[in-house]
Amino acid sequence: TVNPTHPCRICRLSESSSAWTGFNEGAACAPGKVCTWGSCASGCRIDSTFYPAEAQDPLDDSHVCLPSISGTEWTDRVVIAASDSTSDWVAIAAEVCSGTNDELVIGAHLTSGTMVELAPGTFSIAGYLAPEARTRLHGQGDGTVLNFISGTILVRADALELDHFRMTGTLGDPVPVAISISSQTEDLNDIRVHDVNSDVAGGNVFDIYANAHDTPNRTLTNITFARCSAVTPALRMYAR
């Protein structure tokens, strides 16, 4: 039996009938956290070993601990370089973009259970970029630039993380939005956008849309923005 007030402790009758004596190792105890030695910590418990969040697999650096995706398995890490990335990044990249329609290369790797790590450089976004559920798009800060040429990041799946990149360029039809979070087709949960800066022009930078008037009772839950900025657009954030 699990302690209802402390999910990392369990009742072990062989040891005590009046105290919580066991550890609920590896159990999810909070979003992005697992139980380890009786405490709730941010990380993964894989093959009976605890690894802190962001730790790489000691046997394979293409795997990383991302508890937002899985607290019990390694997450695949795919490095993608831009056409102007340095040779050091190109050397370790699984793909090198051409500078034209780079969203096609990036999107091909944003499959469930994967983190796409973008190198410093400029990536051209001229179409839709739609990550699957349980994915992360991670850059290197302002040195990783997504330059929009009428493109859009479409958030239409659960458990997504977008972080540490800068957005530039001009938005255009048919969806003049840089990051569009919408429950148009299904309920959405657990979306995290953080450390994203923008000076795109021509539309909304962050658009949150619960499409309840078309499909009643659609919900958006656990949508988080942190340390994000937008400098030039007509509307920085639009919730409807």
User: How confident is the model over 74-130, as pLDDT tens digits?
Assistant: 999 999 999 999 999 999 999 999 999 999 999 999 999 999 999 999 999 999 999
214 confidence band (pLDDT: 50, 70, 90): low
Give residue 200's pLDDT.
86
Q: What's the CA gap between 134 and 121, in Å, rounded?
A: 25
| pLDDT for res 238 | 53
Contact call for residues 205 and 180 (beta carbons, < 8 A): no
Instruction: Write the pLDDT tens digit of every residue in 102-118.
Output: 999 999 999 999 999 99
Report the alpha-carbon distance of residue 104 to residue 126 in Å, rounded: 9
Q: Tell me the pLDDT band of 184, cut-offs 50, 70 and 90.
A: low
Res 13 pLDDT > 80? no
pLDDT at 23: 73
